[in-house]
Amino acid sequence: MLNNKEIKNQATKTKRNKVNPPKLMVQCDTLDQGTAAFMQWLSSEDKQSVKNPIILKEFANSKYCLIYDNILGHDVIVETQNGVPRCKNCGADDCGHVGFTICLEQKYDNDGTIFD
């Protein structure tokens, strides 16, 4: 899992060519971006804040994960079958939503909960 410093470096790299200061919002189309979105969500004061790229709505370990993607502006369901999460929205197993779900499942496995 990436630590905060690495995520910051990554964000800087991605936004290098833009004049505007880096925004917190990044589109979640890779596993790494999903991980970054998860770290941001996890460390946010308000877990329902629209400042988070992704918000968790419902989580059933090893079954499914219902999240709200603030960039897309709608709910996304990631279904886990035989331990493999797959995004119903993107039809992919390597998008940001899947990355977010993998992080959730890891946290759940480690801590037995997703909410501290």
Which of 45, 63 has the CB closer to Zn ion? Answer: 63
Return the amino acid letter for 78. Answer: V
Which of 40, 113 has the CB closer to Zn ion? Answer: 40
Token pair, residue 19, equals 């004049």
Contact status: 107 vs Zn ion (CB under 5 A): no
From first CA to last CA, the distance across the chain in angstroms is 18
Residues 66-105 that bind Zn ion (CB under 5 A): 87, 89-90, 95, 97
Which of 96, 107 has the CB closer to Zn ion? Answer: 96
Is residue 75 within 8 Å of residue 64, measured between CB atoms? Answer: no
The CB density around residue 35, as the number of other CB atoms within 10 Å, is 22
Number of residues near Zn ion (by CB under 5 A): 5
Binding site for Zn ion (CB under 5 A): 87, 89-90, 95, 97
